[in-house]
Amino acid sequence: MKISGSVITEGSGIDFIDEFLREIASMYHLRVPITEQELKDYYQFRWEMLRKPLHQPVGSEKDAYDAMAHHQMVVDENGKPVAVGRLYINADNEAAIRFLAVDPAVQDKGLGTLVAMTLESVARQEGVKRVVCSAREDAVDFFAKLGYLSQGEITAPQTTPVRHFLMIKPVATMDDILHRPDWCGQLQQAWYDHIPLSEKMGVRISQYTGQRFVTTMPEAGNQNPHHTLFAGSLFSLATLTGWGLIWLLLRERQLGGTIILADAHIRYSAPVTGRPRAIADLGSVSGDLDRLARGRRARVQLEVNLFGDESVGAVFSGTYMVLPVTADDPEAG
């Protein structure tokens, strides 16, 4: 992620985060609060920094969006939070940063910038159009230095008796996909239009090289109570990934067809934690799509590997039937 004017692009931002983390690794640690104790400390810090000074009760530091949001915090060498922030992505493909706070004792060390840029990096990975925040008056300059543009004071009722200003930072729409990003855009939109669950899950195409097809989805909303990925979410992601690779192969060969999942099973070798990725490689595909050109159905088998933070956590094996285009279905495939 690189800050270029007022647009989030890829590049030096991640380099900044990596360099900064190396410099402060012995003193502070950037992490996502996951355990019960971490979450308790996270919310307690949020209340102490943002609500207690305004004489608001415990509980006012939370809202209904917390369960579906991405949370980030910085802790000191004793595990005590010193900076926090939250990112929520709404249905309009817009990310909102809220509850950003830094302990006054460690301000001017760049911790607030680190949290904000980490949240922006998450937003960039999710493919959002822009990042917004409702900044308190004394935080407007901070966000302006990060490239946010003030849209003026928010006149709608707020949860705190403090003036807030709407700040917006657009996200550059860069084509990171190496091969046929136009097809990938059509495919992803087709999923969202015809399989609404895929959009609610946050399924997104992250790469297609002509040889390898990669999809992802956010952790938030797809985790079980043990903070690992739901088996059902992983199965759905793998199914769509396999379906998507076949759809792209049909385009590559200028063929049409209706793709149907005929049979599938999945082997889980370990709980999947972290941001999930599904990878389907052309080398795992077997079948004869050229049968479609002769008006015959084709059977295609393939595998999809499911990753979390590091190693493969599950392998999906699917058999798809591709039915030839008929006169009644000229746009199939």
pLDDT digits 0-9 by tens, 94-153: 899 999 999 999 988 889 988 998 898 888 777 787 899 999 999 999 999 888 999 999
Of 212 and 309, the structure prediction assigns the larger pLDDT to: 212
pLDDT tens for each residue of 230-283:
889 999 999 999 999 999 999 999 999 999 999 999 999 888 887 789 999 999
Number of domains in the chain: 2
* Shared-domain flag, residues 131 and 263: no
**Beta strands 130-136; 94-102: pairing state:** parallel
DSSP state of 144: H
Q: Could you tell me the pTM of the whole model?
A: 0.56
* Shared-domain flag, residues 9 and 151: yes
Cβ-based neighbours of 99, under 8 Å, separated by 6 or more? 46, 50, 61, 84, 85, 86
Q: What are phi and psi of 330, to 5 degrees?
A: -70, -20
* The domain boundary residue, chosen from 147, 170, 193: 170
Give the pLDDT score at 227: 77
CA 307 to chain centre: 14
pLDDT at 74 over 60: yes
Cβ-contact 100, 116 below 8 angstroms: yes
In a domain, 329, yes or no: no
**Residue-range definition of the domain harbouring residue 186:** 181-324
Give the pLDDT score at 26: 61
Weakest mean pLDDT among 25-29, 33-37, 207-211, 326-330:
326-330
DSSP state of 140: H
Give the pLDDT score at 1: 31
* Shared-domain flag, residues 243 and 158: no
